[in-house]
Amino acid sequence: MMALIDLRSDTVTHPTDEMRRAMAAAEVGDDVFGEDPTINALQERAAGLMGQEAGLLTASGTMSNLIAALAWCSRGDEMIMGQEAHMFWNESAGPTALAGAQIRLVPNDVNGRISAQDVAAAVRDSSNIHVPATTLVCLENTHNRCSGGVMTPQDTREVVDVAHAAGAAVHLDGARIFNAAVALEVPASELTKDVDDVSFCLSKALSCPVGSVLCGSEEFIGKARKWRKMVGGGMRQAGVLAAAGLVALDSMVERLADDHANARRLAAGLANIDGLTVDEDGIQTNIVIFEVDREKVGDAREVIAALREDGVLVSHSRDQALRMVTHRHITAGDVDEALSRVNGTVRRMA
């Protein structure tokens, strides 16, 4: 039985042995009372890395993003985000359904950035009784549906300045913020200190089993903690999870460069397969989105099924586009083997 090569997402990563040891040994307490010492240590460490005052452990990136919408938006407000945002495509309309905020989409560029000009043009004049107030602008760095593209500190500051001038807060969906920091060779805080709050995922490329950390001002985190409780996110002895997060922040950030090198290797190989199209120069981090020629190869979802038969797991991005994501379980050798299998699959289908 050939070993599966799982390139669906970096969410498939398993905790390291060091994480498991730390989880078993973690000091714990009741976090609803704020008494779990390991969670408190993680939240403090995370806030420092983000250049923010405080942090809050959440169950997922989706929960973090929802809590940010609940904390910043009132019912009937409007929040701006990119048309390819994860918060728009993959979070079950939570910000609208539960925060009661209308979503206003602006264009993402090829790297997933939204421009200060487009945000300025989208901000509403709520002095008009017909018009909702724009109270939140959401950024995403790196960008999932835009091939892991990164925003620089300058890109971020330009949008923050426009949002603040309009009286709106800025939430950064930083699920993969450490991938951006490593790709840009800057401290993560350079990408996060100017926004009003930021969430990053422990459970993706950092390889923890669960969790994200939402960071912001003391005042914001105080509100966020109550919203988290309301959505059922209050936790008890979750220091066993936070312990993995502390190990991740110590040992799993620098190695992200390996994932980025493997993503570039993957893209270079895919570019050489007739019937597939990929923007090799656009690969900045660990996500590779590529197009499948419908006439030459077939329907994208049929290709996913055929690749699974040949031992390669990939995810669907949009239309004829598929997505591969590198992570700690994927070596350069796995990339080469996956490319060989993909080539065989594509030739079999053509």
Ligand X SMILES: Cc1ncc(COP(=O)(O)O)c(CN[C@H](C(=O)O)[C@H](C)O)c1O
Q: Which is nearer to ligand X, 205 or 270 (CB)?
A: 205
Contact in structure between 85 and 94 (CB atoms under 8 Å)? no
Shortest distance, position 60 Cβ to ligand X, whole Å: 3
Give DSSP secondary structure letters for 8-30.
S-GGGPPPPHHHHHHHHH-----
Return the residue of 61, 112, 148, 298 that touches ligand X, per CB under 6 A.
61
Q: Which is nearer to ligand X, 184 or 201 (CB)?
A: 201
**Residue 62 found at the interface with ligand X (CB under 6 A):** yes
Shortest distance, position 32 Cβ to ligand X, whole Å: 21
Shortest distance, position 241 Cβ to ligand X, whole Å: 13
Shortest distance, position 202 Cβ to ligand X, whole Å: 9
Q: Interface mask (CB under 6 A) for ligand X, residues 5-24, using x and -?
A: ----x-x-------------
Contact in structure between 196 and 69 (CB atoms under 8 Å)? no
Q: Whole-angstrom Cα distance, residue 134 to residue 265?
A: 42
Return the residue of 30, 44, 90, 301 that touches ligand X, per CB under 6 A.
90
DSSP three-state, residue 276: strand
Return the residue of 7, 86, 113, 263 that touches ligand X, per CB under 6 A.
86
Q: Is 192 exposed, middle or buried (0-12, 13-18, 19+ CB in 10 A)?
A: buried
Choose the binding region for ligand X from 56-64, 187-195, 247-255, 328-336 (rule: CB under 6 A): 56-64
Return the residue of 203, 207, 262, 343 that touches ligand X, per CB under 6 A.
203
Residue list 137-196, contact with ligand X (CB under 6 A) = 140, 144, 173, 175
Q: Whole-angstrom Cα distance, residue 100 to residue 95?
A: 7
What does DSSP assign to residue 231? T
Shortest distance, position 196 Cβ to ligand X, whole Å: 17
Listed residue (160, 181, 182, 156) closest to 169, CA to CA: 160
Q: Which is nearer to ligand X, 50 or 133 (CB)?
A: 50
Total number of residues that touch ligand X (CB under 6 A): 14
Shortest distance, position 103 Cβ to ligand X, whole Å: 15
Shortest distance, position 13 Cβ to ligand X, whole Å: 11
Q: Which is nearer to ligand X, 111 or 343 (CB)?
A: 111
Residues with Cβ within 8 Å of 224's Cβ and at least 6 positions away in sequence, in order, are 56, 67, 68, 71, 197, 214, 216
Q: Whole-angstrom Cα distance, residue 31 to residue 39?
A: 7
Shortest distance, position 164 Cβ to ligand X, whole Å: 23
CA angle 221-123-214, nearest 5°? 20
Q: Which is nearer to ligand X, 78 or 84 (CB)?
A: 84
Residue list 274-303, contact with ligand X (CB under 6 A) = none
Catalog residues that contact ligand X under the rule CB under 6 A.
Answer: 9, 11, 60-62, 86, 90, 140, 144, 173, 175, 201, 203, 212
